[in-house]
Amino acid sequence: MFSATGSGTPQPCPVCNQTHLEVADLLGASAPDAWLAVTPGERLEAELTPDVCIMTDHGRTRHFIRGHIQLPVHDFTSEVFVWSVWVELDAEAMERVARSWSNPNRAAIPPIEGRLANELPYEKATRGLTITVHTRDPGLAPLLMVGEEHALAIEQREGIDLHRVAELEELLRR
């Protein structure tokens, strides 16, 4: 959680004049959006863990991994807001990830291309955006880089302020 009380006295937001006392520093989805689109019976045939989802959708096997899109937050030194989201990988890329998952040096494997598998609260759709997946050391979710021009990519590159974090949290609740 980000807390606006870091300096001792809560300060009103310069954008909305409200005090953002505690704002989530990580938001996301517990599964890829495709998971919600299949029937409960199809989910019984699938696998969903906190990090991996493998499912059949209309006779096609689909592979997903969870990772983090980090957005720097300007109001806090060295702080980031994290979207914890799912990325769809093709079978070959998923096999590369699976082979290296337990490797203590898995961060050294080359980046993998995938597609964002969750819709986030942005004006332009996010599901399907090109994502570059950078595996990190065991215990850390992969770092995801948005690979095409979109408001999410701009926020990842340039950062956001605490007001925007509060706004994203509110949009996600709707």
- Determine the structural domain holding residue 168 and report its residue range: 2-173
Burial group, residue 109, by CB count within 10 angstroms (0-12, 13-18, 19+): middle
Using 50, 70 and 90 to split pLDDT, how confident is the model at 3?
A: very low
Q: pLDDT for 25-56, tens place per residue?
A: 899 999 999 998 888 888 998 999 999 999 98
Indicate if the alpha-carbon torsion angle 137, 142, 145, 147 is positive or negative: positive
Which of 110, 85, 107 lies closest to 35, judged by CA?
A: 85
Q: Is the confidence at residue 14, as pLDDT, over 70?
A: no
Question: pLDDT category, 6, cuts 50, 70, 90?
Answer: very low
User: Residue 126 has which token pair?
Assistant: 């996010």
pTM above 0.85, yes or no: yes
Mean pLDDT of the chain: 88
Report the domain count for the chain: 1
Whole-angstrom distance, CA of residue 81 vs CA of residue 160: 9
* CA–CA gap between residue 78 and residue 76 (Å, rounded): 6
- Compute the C-alpha angle 93/30/73, nearest 5°: 90
CA distance 80 to 67: 14
Q: Which candidate, 86, 115, 84, 112, places its Cα nearest to that of 98?
A: 112
pLDDT digit string, tens, across residues 55-98: 988 888 999 999 999 999 986 655 899 999 999 999 999 999 99
